[in-house]
Amino acid sequence: MKMLRTIPLAALLSACAASASQADEHRQLGAHVHGHGKLNIAVEKNVLAIELEAPGADIVGFEHEAATAEDKTKLEKAKATLEKGLELFTPDSAAGCKQTSVKVALEAEHEDEAEGKGKEEHAAKAKDQKDDHDHEEGEHHHSEFHVEYAFECAAPDKITNLTFGYFKAFPNAQELDVSVIAPKGQSSYEVKKDKPKLELKGVM
């Protein structure tokens, strides 16, 4: 566990991303399950880094390109909500965390890729991994939000739990697979909508 402490934060986060899928990006988007997102949490010194990956379906309720004014308004609103990291993932106030940066990105398959190569991959995947597919017929592409937060915490060791306002803010979201890399080791959890809290006692 001691080695983990010396690995730079960026390397930890990219290692998480790389292990999530050996396939290319489109396959990765195609493989997501609506309602299920991922959260990577890493703590190093006074920096708490949180990375969220969530299907567009969970965040805005659709994954097609925003075409109408209504879609665009939904996207803007969602982005503004996603930017308030401390309201979505709230550590104990005793830890004294302040958000220092946030980056929101929306990644989507392009229409032409979805029609051509993407479609074949999609069909192949559907055969192999039926469980990973639960979206309505006629939807040939996915989109996914990637958000990177950085917080500075006066006393990160005082983080004993995280409260997930996320599920209230985004009612379509059901579950987050959470991985935590902290001074005392690495652990993973599932946090669900009906119990939107993550116990981290003894982890930080």
DSSP 109: -
Question: Judged by CB under 5 A, does residue 55 bind Zn ion?
Answer: yes
- The residues pairing with 178 across neighbouring beta strands, listed in sequence order, are 39, 189
152: Cα separation from own chain's centroid: 20
Number of residues that bind Zn ion (CB under 5 A): 3
Look up residue 1 and give its two tokens: 């566990």
Report, in Å, the least distance between residue 148 CB and Zn ion: 20
Report, in Å, the least distance between residue 37 CB and Zn ion: 11
The residue type at 188: S
The residue type at 86: L
Question: Judged by CB under 5 A, does residue 36 bind Zn ion?
Answer: no
Report, in Å, the least distance between residue 85 CB and Zn ion: 23
Q: Which is nearer to Zn ion, 55 or 85 (CB)?
A: 55
User: Which range binds Zn ion by CB under 5 A, 3-11, 57-65, 81-89, 150-158?
Assistant: 57-65
Question: Judged by CB under 5 A, does residue 85 bind Zn ion?
Answer: no
Interface pattern 92-131 for Zn ion (x via CB under 5 A): ----------------------------------------
Look up residue 200 and give its two tokens: 């981290």
Closest by CA to 133, choosing from 35, 24, 20, 25, is 35
Q: Which is nearer to Zn ion, 37 or 85 (CB)?
A: 37
Report, in Å, the least distance between residue 145 CB and Zn ion: 11
Interface pattern 131-170 for Zn ion (x via CB under 5 A): -----------x----------------------------
**DSSP characters for 171-203?**
TT--EEEEEEEETTEEEEEEEETTB-EEE-TTT
Q: Is 88 left (phi over 0), alpha (psi -120 to 50) or beta?
A: alpha
Helix (H, G, I), strand (E, B) or coil at 44: strand
* Closest-approach residue to Zn ion (CB): 142
Q: What are phi and psi of 181, to 5 degrees?
A: -120, 110
What residues numbered 7-26 form the site for Zn ion, per CB under 5 A? Answer: none
Site residues (CB under 5 A) for Zn ion? 55, 63, 142
